[in-house]
């Protein structure tokens, strides 16, 4: 790991799919993240663009309700420079996918980069682009279990200090 972002010193942002019940083996990690956030050990934030998506009437009721459990930043707009960076990110990260298919997810990450160091997601397409995102935005895209691993590393580093 070339750089380490300490999850205790930054906001940690979550994707809306964290709120879904998916058979991907991440549910226990998500429960632990929520527990740590509820106890005030870490800051977990739902980006505004993700909240808007989660509050869509087509989203399951439990997702709409769960979205209210997390701290929300103020709605922000991207500056002209950030919009250019976002367009460059979409161009660099889309790969074989249609730009519009990944563009909304990348917007969530661009918004998240304004607030924190981690974007926690279950989205495989987005995680496959984690390297490009980290290089361009300096935010790490991780699964819930990878995020808990970062917390473990931070605890170990704190013990050594």
Q: What is the pLDDT of residues 117-158, one digit of tens each?
A: 899 999 998 999 999 999 999 999 999 999 999 999 999 998
Strand partners, 13: 45, 119
Q: Which residue has the higher pLDDT, 96 or 83?
A: 83
Crossing angle of helices 99-113 and 80-93, rounded to 10°: 130
Question: In the predicted model, is pLDDT for residue 3 greater than 70?
Answer: yes
pLDDT tops 50 at residue 1: no
Q: What DSSP character marks residue 68?
A: G
In this prediction, residues 58-73 reach a mean pLDDT of 77
Is the pLDDT assigned to residue 73 strictly greater than 70? no
In this structure, the strands spanning 116-120 and 43-45 are unpaired
Report the distance separating Cα 111 and Cα 147, nearest Å.
Answer: 19
Bigger pLDDT: 121 vs 58: 121
The CATH class, in words, for 11-160 is: alpha beta
Q: Is residue 75's pLDDT more than 90?
A: no
How many angstroms separate the Cα of 53 from the Cα of each of 1, 36, 46, 91?
Answer: 32, 24, 11, 23
Terminus-to-terminus CA distance in the chain, angstroms? 19
pTM of the predicted model as reported, rounded to 2 decimal places? 0.87
- Pairwise CA distance, residues 75 & 111, whole Å: 9
> Shortest CA distance to 121 belongs to which of 28, 10, 37, 12?
12
Q: In this model, does residue 72 exceed pLDDT 80?
A: no
**41 vs 16, higher pLDDT:** 41
Average pLDDT over residues 19-23: 75
At residue 8, the pLDDT reads 93
Say if residue 14's pLDDT is above 70.
Answer: yes
Q: What is the mean pLDDT of residues 84-111?
A: 83
Beta bridge partners of 71: 45
Determine the Cα–Cα distance for residues 103 and 94; give it in Å rounded to an integer. Answer: 8
- Return d(Cα 24, Cα 5) in angstroms, integer: 25
């Amino acid at each position: 790991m070339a750089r380490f972002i300490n999850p205790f010193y930054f906001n940690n942002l979550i994707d809306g799919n964290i709120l879904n019940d998916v058979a991907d083996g991440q549910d226990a990690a998500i429960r632990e993240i929520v527990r740590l956030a509820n106890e005030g050990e870490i800051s977990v934030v739902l980006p505004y663009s993700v909240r808007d998506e989660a509050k869509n009437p087509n989203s399951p009721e439990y997702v709409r309700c769960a979205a209210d459990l997390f701290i929300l930043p103020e709605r922000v707009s991207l500056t002209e420079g950030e919009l250019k960076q976002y367009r460059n990110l979409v161009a660099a990260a889309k790969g074989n996918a249609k730009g519009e298919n990944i563009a909304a997810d990348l917007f969530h990450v661009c918004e998240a980069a304004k607030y924190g160091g981690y974007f926690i997601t279950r989205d495989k397409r987005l995680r496959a682009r984690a390297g490009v995102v980290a290089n361009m935005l300096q935010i790490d895209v991780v699964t819930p279990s990878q995020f808990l691993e970062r917390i473990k590393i931070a605890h170990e580093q704190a013990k050594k200090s």
